[in-house]
């Protein structure tokens, strides 16, 4: 993390980004299988990067009929970054419900 941010300060540490995201990667892929963990890492990182633009597109579509100064529209468009956390939580719940050993379980 020091090489990423050039310094390590407690105030800049984001546990959801560094701890929770890696935890979700391992659980989704399969904690007993190295290939599963790598696959989970690629899948979750791809979704982490793509969910915010897809969420912005979705929110623009949902709020298309609202007035420009509508408070709900403004709030929804400003909250698009939270779609990442919502999606990661939803994926984690679905995987734990339907594939508790991960996408590629231990043999």
> Where are the chain's structural domains?
13-98
Report pLDDT for 97.
94
Question: Rounded to an integer, what distance in angstroms lies between the CA atom of residue 96 and that of residue 62?
Answer: 30
- Higher confidence at residue 54 or residue 14? 54
Give ∠ CA 21-1-15 in degrees, rounded to 5. Answer: 35
Alpha-carbon distances of 32 from 19, 52, 81, 91, 95, rounded to whole Å: 19, 30, 32, 19, 15
- pTM, two decimal places: 0.75
Confidence band, pLDDT 50/70/90 cuts, at residue 42: very high
d(CA 1, CA 35): 24
10 or 95, greater pLDDT: 95
Euclidean distance between CA atoms 57 and 95, whole angstroms? 25
């Amino acid at each position: 993390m020091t090489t990423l941010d050039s310094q390590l300060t407690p105030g800049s540490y984001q546990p959801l980004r560094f701890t929770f995201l890696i935890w979700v990667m391992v659980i989704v892929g399969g904690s007993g299988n190295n290939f599963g963990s790598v696959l989970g890492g690629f899948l979750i990182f791809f979704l982490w990067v793509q969910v915010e633009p897809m969420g912005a597109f979705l929110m623009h579509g949902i709020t298309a009929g609202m007035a420009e100064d509508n408070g709900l529209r403004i709030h929804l468009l400003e909250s698009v970054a939270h779609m990442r956390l919502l999606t990661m939580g939803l994926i984690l719940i679905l995987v734990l419900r339907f594939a508790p050993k991960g996408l590629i379980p231990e043999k």
